[in-house]
Amino acid sequence: MKDVELPLLTFQPTKAPTQLVPGPSLQPDTQLVPGPPLQPDTPLEPELTLLSEADTTIYRDGLLQSSTYGDEMTMLVQNGPPGDPEIASAYSLVQFDGIQGIDSDTMSIDAYLSNIDDLTVQLCLTRAVSDNDSGTNDDGTSTVTYSTCLLPSADTATDIETLTGDTAPEYTIPESCVNGEVTTFEIGPSTENLCIDVTSLFGKTSSTSNSDLSTNSTALRGLRRRFLQEDNVNANETTPTTPTSSLFMIDTLKESDKPGDRFYTRADINGRQPSLKIIGKSACKNTVDIACTEPQFSTLCSLIGKSNLSKILDSPDAKNTVFAPTNGAFDRLSSGTLEALNDIDVLVDVLQYHITSGKLMSEDLECGLAIEMANSRTTTTLCGNNGVFYQVGGGVTPGLPEIIDADIETCNGVIHVIDEVLIPDDSVGGNTTCISNETKSIADIACTDPNFAAFCGLVRQAGVGEILADGIFTVFAPSNAAFQVALESLGQSVDMKDKGVITNVLLQHIVWGSAVNSEDLTCNMTVLMGNDENNTITCKDGAFFVGGPGNDKNAFPGIVSADLDACNGLIHMIDGVIIPKIDVANNTVGNVVDIPNTAINAGFFNTLVAALGAADLVETVSDPNGPFTVFAPTDDAFASLPERLVPCLLEENNKSVLSNILLYHVADSKVLSTDLSDGQQIPTKFADGKVTVDLSDGGVKINNSTVIGPDVLASNGVIHVIDQVLVPSSIDVAAFLETCSDDETTDEVEV
């Protein structure tokens, strides 16, 4: 077959090389009108809740003495008669880590408590109540007395969840307790949730008189703090550290021939793990406190005051998550957007677009997660490379908002710092997301044009489809054949199932917040892309080429079709994939998914996918060994068939006919467009059925259908997109329709 090629975009250079910076620049005479200084509201009783980082049961004797129990959902405290194998003596250990992300990076709980007035510290447990809990003890009482104390901080250096009765120190109460301080508490048959005042264990005087504060409220649940990126450049470098954790021992001193009590651990799937509540003045900072004391949030602080949102942000009745823009983020906004923010209604809408209900720590964020914000619109979480997270809105922003600091915990939630302001679509004057007469968005075009089927699959896998439906972008969109070139250049060593890798590759093709026409391009210019990496535009023989940091400088993809208008930007079609910086050393093979999933990701093979399911052929074309070639009709191709044909084929009693038609679209080998020749006959999986290749008109035809999207690669073969359904000559469509039921509808087929 002769290669079917599109000519590269030719140009006449008219400009000197320049640096393209997406988005309008800030005019120096445009200013936000600051709000009045924030006045403190009625003081709350601040409360900080820490969750256990480790907990376990230690058996002093019995058959279980040599085992570990750090991964159990409950921990046990009991003291049976000596030598009783069924009720062995056991105690529990619970560890809490130091305070992070509040007043310093890490400090011990004890040091943190020294700064708090009117202090109360509570150890909160949830007891696992069983049906055997009713009744009385041998002495006629209905309660059991337990003791707890703090163990020396040096002991926190050991992973307590790996300890057994044989390896653990011989802890006893009160001998092993810090300063000999012990707190006792009682548990009755119906006790479930309890908080024990342990302030005295830290050498402090409690502002609460009761030592046992029982409550029926559900135990608070939280997640361990983690950072999005490693703070240490060299993980092998170690420095001496002072222990910052606190280790509690829970035991009962009185022997009993009844089984002890179990308490839920951090392994409990319902979040009923032990917690440590710190209550008192300055126990934690609220959102407004942080925004108005951290210099990087001074603009945000002023706008919170102007919008009167401080009461919502610091309400003690609800947890919230705030994506907080830095001063630099506001500085990058366009002059029109800044002017619009002087309108109170617009300002409130934009600020609410940074707030969502509930406490979402960084490990709660998921790739492609849509989050409903306080203004009832959604933002989307994208996963970048090396653990980077982005939080993306629907409006026009100068760049892609990246979470640059995560998990700053507040009294009633958490703050994540972002480097761009989140703008709702069409909320702000001059922030329209439709800039042409074209009604289709970039997402619509990329996922309906068969030439971009592989690129559309990448968009869907990254969860970027909804994002590209709004905003303003320039997209360098690779053709299907370009992905074949990419796989060869990468040596099939990059795991494109990793959403972080997928998103990074995709963002290397997107200019955020600008529509860049071909007339704006010049030789040797650089263009800042969505992942903060530059693409370079080069020129050769009257054509434009564009490449990223990972492309061979002598083989940049060429721009073959420019300035394809979309409502919210422009698409430039390229004949290769732009490659970002990728460390291929630790990646695995697995660049593309199988044929059925490739078809699903493309978005315009819905009828074909449903038909494969109805014919029980999904497993056939999912065979990883393959390889297969599928001539895949689009949804429009099926829609052009006689009106009743598709419903008739989907009827249960016509499964064999449907199967034969579908198998007529499948060949038992991988046939790329470059392997085709005029007049070639390709055997299919339908009996002796063969399809014929026609290259006489300069295009590619399979029988009477035209290939409108060649070489869509899958892990077990290749797809060629065609515009008509192939029907074997042995099937008489008119006669077949006569055999169909009169009912023109069938049950909906699901795959």
692-736 residue pLDDT tens:
999 988 789 999 899 888 888 787 888 998 989 998 888 888 888
3-state secondary structure of 380: strand
Band the pLDDT of 36: cuts 50, 70, 90.
low
**Would you state the pLDDT for residue 155?**
65
Token duo for residue 544: 């434009």
> 71 and 164 in one domain?
yes
Distances (CA, A) of 679 to 313, 693, 700, 702, 729: 71, 5, 11, 10, 18
CATH code for the domain in which residue 402 is found: 2.30.180.10
The domain of 536 spans: 19-23+435-586
Phi-psi region of 203 (alpha: psi -120 to 50; beta: other; left: phi over 0): left
Band the pLDDT of 545: cuts 50, 70, 90.
very high
> 295 and 270 in one domain?
no
- The answer on pLDDT for 25 being more than 50 is no
In a domain, 39, yes or no: no
- The answer on pLDDT for 218 being more than 60 is no
**Would you state the pLDDT for residue 169?**
92
Mean pLDDT of 619-632: 88
Distances (CA, A) of 101 to 231, 285, 408, 413, 619: 13, 11, 5, 13, 50
In a domain, 699, yes or no: yes
Is-contact 745 648, C-beta < 8 A?
no
**Would you state the pLDDT for residue 289?**
81
- The answer on pLDDT for 410 being more than 60 is yes
> 459 and 393 in one domain?
no
Q: Distance between CA atoms of 402 and 713, rounded to whole angstroms?
A: 32
Report the range out of 322-326, 332-336, 566-570 with the highest average pLDDT.
322-326
Which has more pLDDT, 143 or 481? 143
**Would you state the pLDDT for residue 317?**
64
- Beta strand ranges found along 198-327 (DSSP E): 212-214, 246-251, 261-264, 275-281, 320-325
In a domain, 92, yes or no: yes
Mean pLDDT of 543-563: 86
> 80 and 219 in one domain?
yes
Using a 10 angstrom Cβ sphere, with 0-12 exposed, 13-18 middle and 19 or more buried, the burial of residue 118 is middle
**Would you state the pLDDT for residue 590?**
35
Is-contact 443 466, C-beta < 8 A?
yes
> 734 and 615 in one domain?
yes
Nearest to 102 by CA among 414, 419, 417: 414
Which has more pLDDT, 133 or 315? 315
DSSP assignment string, 515-548: ---GGG--TT-EEE-TTS-EEEEEEETTEEEEE-
Q: What percent of the chain has pLDDT over 90?
A: 23
Mean pLDDT of 471-475: 85
Band the pLDDT of 662: cuts 50, 70, 90.
very high
Band the pLDDT of 52: cuts 50, 70, 90.
very high
In a domain, 29, yes or no: no
Q: Distance between CA atoms of 512 and 497, rounded to whole angstroms?
A: 24
Tally of CA atoms within 13 A in the half-sphere of 405 that contains its CB = 15
> 687 and 570 in one domain?
no
> 631 and 673 in one domain?
yes
Q: pLDDT, tens digit, for every residue of 443-461?
A: 888 888 888 887 887 788 7
**Would you state the pLDDT for residue 466?**
78
Q: pLDDT, tens digit, for every residue of 582-599?
A: 654 443 333 457 888 888
Q: Which helix (H) or strand (E) covers residue 149, if one does? A: strand 144-151
Q: pLDDT, tens digit, for every residue of 62-101?
A: 889 999 999 999 999 999 888 787 889 999 999 998 765 4
Lowest mean pLDDT segment, chosen from 102-116, 303-317, 559-573 = 102-116
Nearest to 668 by CA among 716, 706, 611: 716
Token duo for residue 308: 């009167």
Report the range out of 101-115, 465-479, 625-639 with the highest average pLDDT.
625-639
Q: Distance between CA atoms of 543 and 554, rounded to whole angstroms?
A: 14
3-state secondary structure of 585: helix
Nearest to 260 by CA among 79, 512, 29, 384: 79
Count of the separate structural domains present in the chain = 4
Mean pLDDT of 326-341: 87
Is-contact 385 430, C-beta < 8 A?
no
> 276 and 132 in one domain?
yes
What are the beta bridge partners of residue 100? 106
Helical ranges in 308-363 per DSSP H: 310-313, 327-331, 335-340, 344-352
**Would you state the pLDDT for residue 184?**
95
Report the range out of 16-25, 94-103, 301-310 with the highest average pLDDT.
301-310
Q: Distance between CA atoms of 276 and 113, rounded to whole angstroms?
A: 12
Instruction: Work out the widest C-alpha separation in the chain, in whole angstroms.
Output: 101
Last residue of a domain, one of 281, 301, 333: 281
3-state secondary structure of 473: strand
What are the beta bridge partners of residue 402? 390
In a domain, 86, yes or no: yes
**Would you state the pLDDT for residue 122?**
93
**Would you state the pLDDT for residue 164?**
95
CB neighbours of 406 closer than 8 A, spacing ≥ 6? 226, 227, 228, 361, 362, 389, 416, 417
**Would you state the pLDDT for residue 27?**
37
In a domain, 751, yes or no: no
Nearest to 459 by CA among 494, 499, 414, 518: 499
Which has more pLDDT, 82 or 667? 667
Q: Which helix (H) or strand (E) covers residue 602, if one does? A: helix 595-602
Residue written as token pair 């479930």: 192
Whole-number average pLDDT of the chain: 78
- The answer on pLDDT for 497 being more than 70 is no
Is-contact 218 212, C-beta < 8 A?
no
**Would you state the pLDDT for residue 180?**
92
Last residue of a domain, one of 586, 607, 638: 586
Report the range out of 180-189, 397-406, 670-679, 739-748 with the highest average pLDDT.
180-189
Nearest to 340 by CA among 236, 426, 279: 426
Is-contact 96 245, C-beta < 8 A?
yes
3-state secondary structure of 183: strand
Last residue of a domain, one of 418, 451, 471: 418
Residue written as token pair 């073969």: 717
**Would you state the pLDDT for residue 150?**
93
Is-contact 307 351, C-beta < 8 A?
yes
**Would you state the pLDDT for residue 242?**
44
> 507 and 402 in one domain?
no
Determine the angle formed by the axes of helices 453-462 and 480-490, rounding to 10 degrees. Answer: 70
**Would you state the pLDDT for residue 46?**
61
**Would you state the pLDDT for residue 99?**
66
Nearest to 95 by CA among 50, 49, 47: 50
Is-contact 715 624, C-beta < 8 A?
yes
Q: pLDDT, tens digit, for every residue of 200-217?
A: 998 866 554 333 333 332
- The answer on pLDDT for 156 being more than 50 is yes
Mean pLDDT of 235-263: 74
> 253 and 315 in one domain?
no
Q: Distance between CA atoms of 77 and 64, rounded to whole angstroms?
A: 14
- Indicate the residue type of 746: T
In a domain, 747, yes or no: no
**Would you state the pLDDT for residue 366?**
84
Is-contact 54 273, C-beta < 8 A?
no
> 323 and 236 in one domain?
no
CB neighbours of 548 closer than 8 A, spacing ≥ 6? 508, 529, 533, 534, 535, 536, 578, 579, 580
Rounded to the nearest angstrom, the gap between the alpha carbon of residue 343 and the centroid of all alpha carbons in its chain is 33
**Would you state the pLDDT for residue 742?**
57
In a domain, 35, yes or no: no
Lowest mean pLDDT segment, chosen from 451-465, 478-492, 528-542 = 478-492
CB neighbours of 32 closer than 8 A, spacing ≥ 6? 299, 302, 303, 330, 338, 341, 342
Distances (CA, A) of 34 to 241, 318, 484: 44, 28, 54
Is-contact 346 355, C-beta < 8 A?
no
**Would you state the pLDDT for residue 67?**
92
> 491 and 521 in one domain?
yes
- The answer on pLDDT for 506 being more than 60 is yes
